[in-house]
Copies of this chain bind each other. A is one copy, B any other.
Amino acid sequence: MDNLSMLTDLYEFSMANGYRQTITDEQGVFDIFFRKVPDNGSFVICAGLQQVVESLKDFHFTKADVAYLRSLKLFKENFLDYLAHFQFDCKVTAIPEGTPVFAREPLLTIQGPLLQTQLFETLLLNIMNHQSLIATKARRITFAAGDKPIMEFGARRAQGPSSATFGARAAVIGGCASTSNVLAAQKFGIPAAGTMAHAWIEAFPDELTAFRKWAEVYPDNASLLVDTYDVLKSGVPNAIKVFTELKEAGHKPVGIRIDSGDISQLAKGARKLLDAAGFQDAKITASNALDEHVIQSLLNEGAPLDNFGVGEKLITSSTSPVLSGVYKLAAIIQHGDVIPKIKVSASREKLTLPGLKQVYRLYRANTHEAFADIIALSDEVLDHPMDVVKANPIATERHQSIDQYDAKPLQEAVMDGTTVQADLPGVFDIQKYSKQMLQEIPAATQRLVNPDEYPVYMTPRLAQLQEKRGLQEKESVR
């Protein structure tokens, strides 16, 4: 199978080979962060760390990989030899999966030989951008559904096999209850969910026969797809016949699924028919092109729906299919000296944050009410009170003062070489932690449309360092 260590942009190899020939002693410090939240939301649910750790622990190049790289005639033998005997020698710190995070916060920081840290850029961004994107979309959809469970149904429309599988993982981190994807269910311990397709119905001479055959095979798992011909005239009446037969035989029918038409009206009609026949407990599941807005509308209209199956719009985050996380050099460490680095740009919004940093969530003193995050240099002690500056260079009212707060660090140690230091919890533990963290941030920041901004500050020392380094870079051009 493929070696994901090769899932790297060519230029990472070119630069790594270049560092090997020029500045071999330097350590690099890179941060992963993003500037924009998908769907104009206020936060991203961080995800993908487990796969990052697994990839880095196993980072290696096979003989065939090295031979392929040699064939490109770009790299020196000393570099190819380094790859052939690659030993992961970096420190990774990161914000735990499931944490709601905000623009400009370093989600993951990696420090180690410059050559190595450069090589990981593409793979780490690929994993974290993807899973964080889908976890964030899933959180929007589960938010809209309130306490109704969401089944992730998107495998057939996902952008390739790992998009389906890691997407299902991320969907659970973002609050989904189950997945139709058996591989993801097996791999991550997620309940596998599903009913039947129209093909089952069509494979039999008529709908009633198809339902009866299903009930014979799955007497305690009869969830019937009722929209092959006509939901209210055919599907639900036939389902009720079969449910009645099941009940008489001592079984409890599960419910029905509606996959087309006006879901709201059809669900109301189906609910009446089911209730009148004594099947008040039979659940109604809706699917078909659902997203957070459709689900919210259906529930606002009082559609009596118990579960939702959400496919392509979740697994591709189709209304906002890219999380543009970046991997930026924050410092070079040369013989023990930390040289903070900054990327200036024509666009002031893109100014990066230099130096070794930590992110803190700030709570009103002695409460669980978070009101802001602050990015600090990692050796700083936070003052009370403190004059802080918004991290977004183009924000208004950038200067604020904060006092009477508790601060909780968000980044924690993850790897020191191949030693894994962090807990890597199961997906449902991450989901639970994520829900707790969401309860701590203001409800208004979680609205689907026009959410309140959650402030992210810098400490005065970090703000000064950014300003100073930015000016130095501009000077250097003159």
Contact = CB atoms under 8 A, between A and B. Distances in A.
Interface of A: 1-4, 6-15, 17-19, 21-23, 26, 28, 30, 65, 68-69, 72, 74, 76, 114, 118, 121-123, 125-127, 129-131, 133-134, 153, 155-167, 180-183, 185-187, 192-200, 202-204, 206-207, 213-214, 216-218, 221, 227-230, 233-234, 260-261, 312-313, 316-318, 321-325, 327-329, 332, 341-347, 350, 473-474, 476-477
B126 A164 contact: yes
B322 A186 contact: no
Contacts of A186: 6, 65, 68
B229 A344 contact: yes
A230 B477 contact: yes
A125 B230 contact: no
A272 to B, nearest CB: 19
Contacts of A204: 23
Contacts of A161: 2, 4, 7, 123, 126-127, 162
5 contacts: A7-B183, A9-B153, A10-B193, A121-B156, A202-B329
Given A7-B183, A161-B7, A183-B7, A196 B229 contact: no
Number of copies: 2
Shortest Cβ-Cβ A-B pairs, 3 listed:
A11-B194, A10-B194, A125-B156
A263 B162 CA distance: 34
A130 B476 contact: no
Contacts of A196: 11, 14-15, 18
Nearest to A343: B198
Contact of A182 (B6, B153, B260, B321): B6
Given A114-B203, A202-B343, A160 B157 contact: no
Given A125-B156, A477-B233, A200 B18 contact: yes
A203 to B, nearest CB: 6
Given A8-B183, A14-B196, A346-B261, A122 B19 contact: no
A136 to B, nearest CB: 13
B2 A187 contact: yes
B182 A8 contact: yes
